Amino acid sequence: MNWIVRIEGENEKKERIRITFDPMAEQIHFYGEYKVHIRANNVPWKVFSEHIHGMKIDLETMKSMMEKCIVDMRIRVKEYENLDKGLGVIKWVGLEEDED
């Protein structure tokens, strides 16, 4: 069982929260997902954060879990973008071998 929660803002087409309910484990999973390349529709969403709670949950706790998910996701997305930018500059790496 899955639910998708859209996040309003400048990245609303790239960010979302997916909530899944696992009745056998009695858990609710909150996934902060990010679409890395928005131009391509067939690119899957990537999970950048996850929080788990027991199935007995009230609305205030659910809101708190989603907020934590968004904050963690945005921190990790920022780091991903920095890494992507830095690695995008590297075109070739050469290794020298020692002749011992």
SS3 19: strand
pLDDT in tens, 34-77: 998 766 677 889 999 999 999 999 999 999 999 999 999 999 99
Q: Residues 100, 72: contact at Cβ < 8 Å?
A: no
Global model pTM greater than 0.85 = no
pLDDT band at 98 (very low <50, low <70, confident <90, very high): confident
Write down the domain spans for the chain: 2-88
* CA dist., res. 56 & res. 78, Å (int): 33
Q: What is the pLDDT of residue 13?
A: 85
Between 23-32, 44-53, 85-94, the lowest mean confidence (pLDDT) is in 85-94
